Structure formats: structure tokens, C-alpha cells
Amino acid sequence: MLKTTQSTKLAIFGAAPAFTQKLHVGRPNIGDRDQLMERINDVLDRKWFSNNGKYVQEFEKRLAEFTGAKHCIAMCNGTIALEIVIRALGLTGEVIVPSFTFVATAHALQWQEITPVFCDIDPETHTLDPAQVERLITPRTSGIMGVHVWGRPCQIDELTELAQRRNLKLAFDASHAVGCSYKGRMLGNFGEAEVFSFHATKFLNAFEGGAVVTNNDELAAKIRLMKNFGFGPGYDNVIYVGTNGKMNEMSAAMGITGLESVDDFIATNYRNYKQYQAELRDVPGVRLVTYNEAEKNNYQYIILEIDEWEAGINRNELVKVLHAENVLARRYFYPGCHKMEPYRSYFPNAHLLLPETEKLTEKVMSLPTGTGVTPEDISKICGIIRLAIQDSDRVRRALQDELLATVPTDKQLAAEITVR
């Protein structure tokens, strides 16, 4: 009886939403706004907006120092940075990637007519399963692209050993992983190269931006040429085929400003993470993905896995409950790259080799965190989740009724057919 009374407080039962404003996943971290404006005004005063300007150079230097890597080449976004790395490494034929990633990882290969071969993940780490990677190697395989999903590192030692033994190139999509480490060493130092994204939604943002970080001198020189039309020293001196991957000065100003505040961003994210962990600890069927606190983490992602049998509702139903409350939880990375076009047409049977990916994409969701979320917000979000699961039968019935209400009646269907 108590359960029923409590759950009527949920918006799906007609109560007012818990939040009057929409609460998003991925709100940008800004840092010291005055510093940012000072830099932006300086860019405007100096009238130097792009082409390896002062702020881009400074950002590259600071990021290289931050990661401890030898070279950092800033770019206009993470996707172009991935495309350029793939080309600079001379990858061809097939490259093994997880399907459980943002679609840009796969597109960066397909865009260059290289086949992304989707590999299953380890259900614990959410990253490539090295044993499965080995099974997918064919004579056409030229490389492996691991993704440090949620900033949690891939099984780097195993992948490095495999790549060396099978003579394959290894690179990492480290879009989520600025400020994270593996065995005490910052990500950015592994494989041939690693790629960061500084999209607005990322831990460190440059409005839009990306970077390649590498310890390989030759590769770095090639990538620098490629991202700037192949221009060599001096004017009008094109010595290589290239594209336009340059970062602009405004983006670099934002990137530097964010970099100066990473400790604050991490402290806030960590506080949020611990609070979610404490408040969701005993909610049945809800598992918060954890970070290895012996390593450096940016704690940028609050990820839940929902076990439908224990929770009584599934991930999609919980997302609906939260959306009704104006909490815009996301289903990253639903439905998996192998179920998106063109890949689902190219590889209609890919799911047979991806059982863990298939399971994870059905149960994973991402919650709001970052500097824009307060402890009170988190308590409210956890309270909503708790209530929905406590009264899962009623929640499920309400959502099914809502679904039925949107199914057209025979009469409506007939009317529609007549109009056509």
C-alpha cells in the first residue's frame, strides 16, 4: 500500500516532473569564464583565428605535458583526428573495432573504404575482448582500434602483445579518456597513437575539437602534414596529400581554459560518482559501473546497467520514467554500430558474434553528472529510480497503457488508408 502511495509522486502517474528544466547528460564543463573571455578577446584583438596560432600551439604543448606523450597534434574534432590517424598508419582492408562505441569510430574507417570488423566486448570492462579480437584476424586485417569506453582503459597489455605477435597496427580511440591512466601511465601513450575528442559533451571540451597524441616522431610529422593540406615549410609548398583538420584559436582558448580546471572537474565528477554509488547501492537490479580508484580517472560518465529480472522494469522503461521527470538519461551506445546503417545491411549476421554487445546495449544507460549537476539533483534522480523500481509492476502497466494509447484503432487505420 505504501509503495503505491509513494509511486504516485512519479510524473508518469500525472505528478509534476521532478525538474522544471531539462537535465541533460553531457553538459559542457567551462572552467574560469573570465579567463576564457580574456583569451577570446585576445584572439579577436590579434585577428589571428586559425593556422597554428598561438593558442593552438600552447594547447598542444600543455596537453602533451599533461599526458606525458611526446607529440600532440590538435584538430578540429575527434572524428577527423581518427580518420587522419587511420590514413597515416596506412591501414587497409579490415580493422577490428568494438561495435559498442560511438558510431564515429566505425565511420572513420568506412569513410576510407576500410571494413570495420565488429568485435565483442568484455562484459566487465565494456572494452574489446582480446581473445575475440584474435579470432577475427584474417589475411586482410591491418589493425586494431580499441576504444577506452567511459575513460576505462582497454586491456592494453593483451592488445599490444597480440598486435605485435600478429604484426598489426594498434591505435586507440581515447575520446572519453582525457585525464585517465593505465597502470599508472596516462592514456595517450599507448599503441601507435591515441585520439582524444574535445566535443562539447566531453570531459575536456574545446567547443568542438580533437587531438592525436603519439610518441612516434615520424607518425607525428606525417599527421601534421596531413591535417594542413600537406603544406611543408614556407609558402605554397605542398609536399603531401592532406586535408583540413586544423583546430581554430577559439577552440584552443576553450581547451586551455578547461585544462587549467581539470582538477576541479574531476573533483566534482568524483563527488557525484560517490553520491550516485552510495544512493543506488541497495536498489535491486541497478548496477553502477565502477572506476578503478588506484588509477587516474575523469569520472565523466555515470553508467548504470539495469537487470530487468531483478529491477522488474527494463532499461527502456526506466529511461521513459526519467524522461517524464525531465531527466534526459541516454542509452549510449544503443543499438551498437552493427545495427546502424550501412553496417546492418553490410553485415546482417554480425549480432551472432556479438552476444555481450547485444546484452549490454539493452541494459546500459547514462545519467547526468558534471559541474552543472548539484547533490540535490542527484538525490532526486536516485529517488526517482528507487521509486520506479519499488513499484515496478505499476510502472510497467502504466507505460504499457501509454503505449497502447498510441496504437491506432482499426477505425483510425481504415480512415488513414482511405485518405491515401
Q: Is 146 left (phi over 0), alpha (psi -120 to 50) or beta?
A: beta
Cell output for 209: 575539437
Cα–Cα distance, 126 to 14 (Å, whole number): 37
Check binding of 127 to ligand T4K (CB under 6 A).
no
Check binding of 121 to ligand T4K (CB under 6 A).
no
* Strand, helix or coil for residue 303: strand
Check binding of 181 to ligand T4K (CB under 6 A).
no
Check binding of 251 to ligand T4K (CB under 6 A).
no
Check binding of 25 to ligand T4K (CB under 6 A).
yes
Strands 181-182 and 185-186: antiparallel
Please say which residue, 5 or 21, places its beta carbon nearer to ligand T4K: 21
Q: What's CA 36's distance to the chain center, in Å?
A: 25
Per-residue interface string for the shown chain with ligand T4K, residues 391-410, x marking contact by CB under 6 A: --------------------
Which stretch, 100-108, 232-240, 340-348, 400-408, contacts ligand T4K (CB under 6 A)? Answer: 100-108
Q: Is 60 left (phi over 0), alpha (psi -120 to 50) or beta?
A: alpha
Closest residue to ligand T4K: CB criterion: 78
What does 368-418 look like in DSSP terms, one character per residue? --STT--HHHHHHHHHHHHHHHHTHHHHHHHHHHHHHHHSPPHHHHHHHHH
Please say which residue, 312 or 370, places its beta carbon nearer to ligand T4K: 370
Whether the CB-CB separation of 283 and 385 falls below 8 Å is answered with yes
Check binding of 340 to ligand T4K (CB under 6 A).
no
How many residues in the shown chain lie near ligand T4K by CB under 6 A?
A: 23
Which stretch, 23-31, 228-236, 262-270, 285-293, contacts ligand T4K (CB under 6 A)? Answer: 23-31
Cα–Cα distance, 41 to 32 (Å, whole number): 14
- Of 19, 29, 23, 24, nearest to 299 by C-alpha is 29
Please say which residue, 127 or 261, places its beta carbon nearer to ligand T4K: 127
DSSP 285: T
Check binding of 199 to ligand T4K (CB under 6 A).
yes
CB of 408 to ligand T4K, least distance (A): 29
Check binding of 104 to ligand T4K (CB under 6 A).
yes
- Of 188, 250, 205, 243, nearest to 372 by C-alpha is 205
Residue 139 preceded by cis peptide, ω within 30: no
Which stretch, 83-91, 119-127, 192-200, 347-355, contacts ligand T4K (CB under 6 A)? Answer: 192-200
Per-residue interface string for the shown chain with ligand T4K, residues 137-176, x marking contact by CB under 6 A: ----------x-------------------------x-xx
Member of 78, 242, 255, 285 binding ligand T4K (CB under 6 A): 78
- Helices (DSSP H) in 249-391: which residue ranges? 249-259, 262-280, 308-311, 315-324, 343-346, 355-363, 375-390
Cα–Cα distance, 330 to 304 (Å, whole number): 10
CB of 206 to ligand T4K, least distance (A): 9
Member of 77, 155, 228, 369 binding ligand T4K (CB under 6 A): 77
Check binding of 357 to ligand T4K (CB under 6 A).
no
Which stretch, 44-52, 182-190, 198-206, 313-321, contacts ligand T4K (CB under 6 A)? Answer: 198-206
| Nearest-10 Cα torsion for 194, 200, 204, 208 | 50
- Of 261, 160, 250, nearest to 206 by C-alpha is 250
Please say which residue, 71 or 199, places its beta carbon nearer to ligand T4K: 199
Which stretch, 46-54, 64-72, 99-107, 373-381, contacts ligand T4K (CB under 6 A)? Answer: 99-107
Q: Using CB under 6 A as the criterion, which residues of the chain lie in contact with ligand T4K when the complex forms?
A: 24-28, 77-79, 101-102, 104-105, 147, 173, 175-176, 197, 199-201, 210, 328, 332
